[in-house]
Chains A and B, each alone.
Chain A
Amino acid sequence: EDKVVQSPLSLVVHEGDTVTLNCSYEVTNFRSLLWYKQEKKAPTFLFMLTSSGIEKKSGRLSSILDKKELFSILNITATQTGDSAIYLCAVGEVYFYYGGSQGNLIFGKGTKLSVKP
């Protein structure tokens, strides 16, 4: 059975700390791995990773994928209270059928990050 596992499920840190969130996966037809940030409502897109070893960076956030070991990490440096959210990892998988294909996302349960002032 395909699955995406995130750890830890919840984390409490203080402002200024650096955190690492983990996502491991077992998916049959892997195509991509995505990270989303969910504060109160809609998840917002952070990164999409398709190649191993290439770090993607956006401000204090960065992420890297290891397709050999089947995991990704999301790093947040110098955390701020505004980083408090649920971080979702999702793996893009393709299904093949006669005449076409369909890409779907399989989500992990998320990591709830709380940053205390």
Chain B
Amino acid sequence: DGGITQSPKYLFRKEGQNVTLSCEQNLNHDAMYWYRQDPGQGLRLIYYSQIVNDFQKGDIAEGYSVSREKKESFPLTVTSAQKNPTAFYLCASSPDSSSYEQYFGPGTRLTVT
């Protein structure tokens, strides 16, 4: 089955620790995205990647880092510099950067205490 997978579903970390969220897709999509969703805030774009080995900051990139070494994978690292990391994180992909229909993964809920 084609789709986007994110792991883990739930993640708990202590403050000050970096944590990496996984996102994998087998849709052969060029573009991938990371969003953060907070209650009442909608989805906000963290980083996006149009193609392998290239990525761009979104609206709220501070405290996050990404890599795109393979087409299928776009991991997100939440660093200790991110002031409010507790949130629901959604990964998405689209066939290419000019396609607006994005397909979403199931999300990872990160709780930092």
Contact = CB atoms under 8 A, between A and B. Distances in A.
Contacts of B77: none
Contacts, number: 57
Contacts of A104: 45, 48, 58
B107 interface: yes
Contacts of A101: 97-98
A32 interface: yes
Given A41-B107, A90-B100, A102-B48, 20 more contacts: A9-B40, A34-B101, A36-B104, A41-B106, A42-B4, A42-B104, A48-B100, A48-B101, A88-B43, A94-B98, A101-B98, A102-B97, A103-B99, A103-B100, A104-B45, A104-B58, A105-B102, A107-B42, A107-B44, A110-B42
Interface of B: 4, 35, 40-45, 48, 50, 56, 58, 90, 97-107
